[in-house]
Amino acid sequence: MSRPASSLFSAALVGPALLGAFAKLDPRVMIRNPVMFVVEVVAALTTVLFVRDVAAGADGLAFSGQIILWLWFTLIFANFAEALAEGRGKAQADSLRRTRTEMQAKRLTGPGRDVEIVPGTALKVGDVVLVEAGDLIPSDGEVIAGVASVNEAAITGESAPVIRESGGDRSAVTGGTQVLSDAIRVRITAAAGSTFVDRMIALVEGASRQKTPNEIALNILLAGLTLIFLFAVASIPSFASYAGGAIPVIVLVALFVTLIPTTIGALLSAIGIAGMDRLVRFNVLAMSGRAVEAAGDVDTLLLDKTGTITLGNRQATAFRPVRGVTEQDLADAAQLASLADETPEGRSIVVLAKDTYGIRARDMAGLNATFVPFTAQSRMSGVDLEGSSIRKGAVDAVIASLSGQPISGQPMATRGSNAALAYQPTAETETVAEIRAIAEEIAKAGGTPLAVSRDGRLLGVVYLKDIVKGGIRERFAELRRMGIRTVMITGDNPMTAAAIAAEAGVDDFLAQATPEDKLALIRKEQAQGKLVAMCGDGTNDAPALAQADVGVAMNTGTVAAREAGNMVDLDSDPTKLIEIVGIGKQLLMTRGALTTFSIANDVAKYFAIIPAMFLTLYPQLQALNVMGLASPRSAILSAIIFNALIIVALIPLALRGVTYRPVGAAALLRRNLAVYGLGGLLVPFLGIKAIDLAVSALHLV
């Protein structure tokens, strides 16, 4: 699913959104938005009165007619904003829906390969299906046997196939994706209609959209303000009658509708939908709007070291020989041992030896060498050539191999020829101590030591270093300015972890972290009232993902992890956590900025309508007409037109969001208050005056 940044007002979106705007006038839909519902009730009532007056042949209906027209425009503009926001999601939903076409499933009927063909919709949770090369996976499930390459482009937009296998952390498969090779057995974990894709469709379409707690609270505030202004306007007829006059209903309606916070009321749901949509465009699916809000509130970020803070692999940065061995010799041996080692670490050793000591990579075949691969038992790899054997590996493993313990995977002949060397405990003790000292020094500095031996003799240590990602330090400083604490999670020992933490600039670290440690850390932070975000992929991450306020599960992860998190990152990029926080903040800021703007607008509207309204009672009130509006009628009409047009003008801001800058709260407030608070105060004065000039020029009243 590719997501090009479509322009906000592209024709393909505007047409359906306009239609949707009218469909949403249905009062059953409108009632979800109290402010706009009130506008609709008022608009409907004045329309009825207008029709009555027309039937009675009353005079001067052009003015009321225009006001009523603009009331309906206000409603349609509000609905248009929401429909436009939804429309952008719908386009994505349609492409997703295509993956959900009729699917046949091969349901296994027994332990063997006996299958029956059933429609995908007939599958129940717990059924086991066989999926072979070329088949679409019929529903969400977990691989229980086999390994296969799967094309998940339908979900992630990424065309490179991914490996899915039983056991481990990559066992989850998604309905609608295609197996490219091999065959897997999948236990179905989601019934038709509630699969991942179904949920995605519902989410991006906004169908399952529920108001978030903050939205509910904001709606209460807006409803309260609406009531206050209702009192203010409803008491005016009495006051006017005391003053010996009467105010036309249509003028009271105009004042009321311009005062109530229609701007934010109209754009509130569009802001929420657009926030979710921004995440989707970023290839992250939030399972609820609440999760997006929580992201903005996050106080502590738990970040996995590998892949987020450091590049996934370590690199050799130095050769540290023991006494009596030159760096050159050590580099030579290390390079020989690594020539056939295709791991990033191995390759980095070859490169370092070449770059620093000019030792050119040699051809394995030409050397008549045999590569000894790494095994979990030996924890070493190396090379045997011309009666000589070179090993590199974890310091303990290499030392242990020297003290005569049998090492599997090593040709007997090599061992025999070096037997004399291998059994010289006294000679080796000093060297062993030296190696250990070097190793500890490297570990303290955050590196990983790799011991190298040749023919049973320790030569020295290769300094493998975790390479901290470029720019990550600045990112963490940024987060700190935003008031967010970063905690690095790593399996490394505390010494190494501390060194990397210092280099990367994280605030804290959790070394030798077990899933239980992670969970405990989250609970501890939450007990202090903090909100915690983390990402994870494995089944053992599931409890922590569920406990975290924002749990971002990697799409490559297990079913358990995906169920536990409240967001899924389709790109499986743990770095994104930082951006997710930014998107959450942007959503909240947009909401606050437009609320402030909307409320600040009222000042100008009072000054437009109050003098116009009371001028017949007390001509002296002309002095309050600070904007110098042409006539009472043009003033009232201009105010209501401004009130409607400002909604349209702010749709782009509502959908794009207020620009978020990672500076402290004080600076953010200062800036936003200047733009949206002060702007909200001044813009309507200018806007209403401009519209008044146009209204007078066009002789609309």
Known binding positions for ATP? 341, 345, 374-381, 392
Least distance (Å) between residue 334 CB and other proteins: 46
From 355-363, 409-417, 430-438, 478-486, give the range in contact with other proteins by CB under 8 A.
Answer: 478-486
- With 0-12 CB in 10 A as exposed, 13-18 as middle and 19+ as buried, what is 629? buried
123-162 in b/e form (b: 16+ CB < 10 A) is: beeebbbbbeeebbbbbbbbbeebbbbbbbbbbbebeebb
Q: Which is nearer to other proteins, 200 or 264 (CB)?
A: 264
Given the residues 140, 304, 466, 492, the one annotated as active site: 304
From 102-110, 141-149, 436-444, 480-488, give the range in contact with other proteins by CB under 8 A.
Answer: 480-488
Residue 228 within binding range of other proteins, rule CB under 8 A: yes
**Is residue 409 within 8 Å of 372, Cβ to Cβ?**
yes
From 340-348, 459-467, 492-500, 588-596, give the range in contact with other proteins by CB under 8 A.
Answer: 588-596
Enumerate residues 6+ apart whose C-beta is below 8 A from 427: none
Figure out which of the listed residues 184, 325, 484, 608 binds other proteins, where binding follows CB under 8 A.
484
From 329-337, 445-453, 474-482, 495-503, give the range in contact with other proteins by CB under 8 A.
Answer: 474-482
Residue 475 within binding range of other proteins, rule CB under 8 A: no
**Feature table: binding site:** 341, 345, 374-381, 392, 537, 541
DSSP 483: T
Q: Which is nearer to other proteins, 2 or 528 (CB)?
A: 528
Residue 617 within binding range of other proteins, rule CB under 8 A: yes
Percentages helix, strand, coil for the chain (3-state, rounded to 5) are 55, 15, 25
Q: Which is nearer to other proteins, 156 or 625 (CB)?
A: 625
Q: Residue 13 carries which side chain, given as an amino acid letter?
A: L
Please give the Cα distance from 491 to 510 (Å, whole number): 8
Residue 623 within binding range of other proteins, rule CB under 8 A: yes
Shortest CA distance to 276 belongs to which of 212, 214, 203? 203
The site for other proteins, by CB under 8 A, has a size of 75
Figure out which of the listed residues 100, 485, 576, 689 binds other proteins, where binding follows CB under 8 A.
485
Q: Which is nearer to other proteins, 373 or 483 (CB)?
A: 483
DSSP 674: I
Which residues in 592-611 contact other proteins (CB under 8 A)?
A: 592-593, 595-596, 599-600, 602-603, 606, 610-611
**Is residue 561 within 8 Å of 632, Cβ to Cβ?**
no
Enumerate residues 6+ apart whose C-beta is below 8 A from 383: 336, 337, 339, 340, 364, 369, 370, 371, 372, 389, 390
Residue 676 within binding range of other proteins, rule CB under 8 A: yes
Reading the block at residue 138, the tokens are: 């019929």
Least distance (Å) between residue 526 CB and other proteins: 9
Q: Which is nearer to other proteins, 112 or 529 (CB)?
A: 529
Enumerate residues 6+ apart whose C-beta is below 8 A from 84: 8, 9, 13, 14, 17, 270, 651, 655
Reading the block at residue 387, the tokens are: 């009666």
Instruction: Judge whether 304 counts as a catalytic residue.
Output: yes
Q: Which is nearer to other proteins, 393 or 680 (CB)?
A: 680
Figure out which of the listed residues 664, 686, 690, 694 binds other proteins, where binding follows CB under 8 A.
664
Least distance (Å) between residue 261 CB and other proteins: 10
Residue 624 within binding range of other proteins, rule CB under 8 A: yes
Please give the Cα distance from 205 to 225 (Å, whole number): 31
Figure out which of the listed residues 224, 312, 324, 425 binds other proteins, where binding follows CB under 8 A.
224
Stretch (H or E) spanning 321: strand 310-321
Figure out which of the listed residues 12, 221, 477, 694 binds other proteins, where binding follows CB under 8 A.
221
Residue 405 within binding range of other proteins, rule CB under 8 A: no
Figure out which of the listed residues 167, 373, 483, 652 binds other proteins, where binding follows CB under 8 A.
483
Which residues in 233-272 contact other proteins (CB under 8 A)?
A: 233-243
- Strands 447-454 and 457-468 come out as antiparallel
From 119-127, 225-233, 386-394, 640-648, give the range in contact with other proteins by CB under 8 A.
Answer: 225-233
Which residues in 281-310 contact other proteins (CB under 8 A)?
A: 293, 296-297, 299
Residue 628 within binding range of other proteins, rule CB under 8 A: no
Residue 529 within binding range of other proteins, rule CB under 8 A: yes
Which residues in 102-131 contact other proteins (CB under 8 A)?
A: none
Q: From the CB of residue 71, how many other CB atoms can be counted at a distance below 10 Å?
A: 25
**Is residue 260 within 8 Å of 515, Cβ to Cβ?**
no
Least distance (Å) between residue 294 CB and other proteins: 8
Residue 32 within binding range of other proteins, rule CB under 8 A: no
- Strands 141-145 and 172-173 come out as antiparallel
- Start-to-end CA distance of the chain, whole Å, equals 52
Residue 232 within binding range of other proteins, rule CB under 8 A: yes
Three-class DSSP category at 262? helix
Please give the Cα distance from 519 to 472 (Å, whole number): 25
The arrangement of strands across the sheet holding 178-181 comes to 162-165, 147-151, 178-181
Least distance (Å) between residue 505 CB and other proteins: 15
DSSP 540: G
Shortest CA distance to 267 belongs to which of 691, 580, 668, 657? 657
The full DSSP string for 86-128 is: HHHHHHHHHHHHGGGS--EEEEE-SSSS-EEEEEGGG--TT-E
Figure out which of the listed residues 48, 227, 413, 690 binds other proteins, where binding follows CB under 8 A.
227
Residue 214 within binding range of other proteins, rule CB under 8 A: yes
Q: Which is nearer to other proteins, 34 or 175 (CB)?
A: 34
Least distance (Å) between residue 59 CB and other proteins: 27
Residue 528 within binding range of other proteins, rule CB under 8 A: yes
Reading the block at residue 192, the tokens are: 């038709």
Enumerate residues 6+ apart whose C-beta is below 8 A from 404: 422, 423
Figure out which of the listed residues 15, 27, 168, 213 binds other proteins, where binding follows CB under 8 A.
213
Considering just the CA atoms, what is the radius of gyration of the chain in Å?
A: 35
Residue 89 within binding range of other proteins, rule CB under 8 A: no
**Is residue 472 within 8 Å of 312, Cβ to Cβ?**
no
Least distance (Å) between residue 532 CB and other proteins: 12
Placement of tokens 């332990």 in the chain: 111
Least distance (Å) between residue 601 CB and other proteins: 10
Residue 477 within binding range of other proteins, rule CB under 8 A: no
Residue 373 within binding range of other proteins, rule CB under 8 A: no
Figure out which of the listed residues 467, 677, 682, 693 binds other proteins, where binding follows CB under 8 A.
677
Least distance (Å) between residue 394 CB and other proteins: 41
Q: Which is nearer to other proteins, 366 or 529 (CB)?
A: 529
Residue 654 within binding range of other proteins, rule CB under 8 A: no
Three-class DSSP category at 24? coil
The full DSSP string for 575-625 is: THHHHHHHHHHHHHHHHHHHHHHHHHTHHHHHHHHHHHHHTTT-GGGGGG-
Q: Which is nearer to other proteins, 261 or 574 (CB)?
A: 261
- Residues marked active site are found at 304
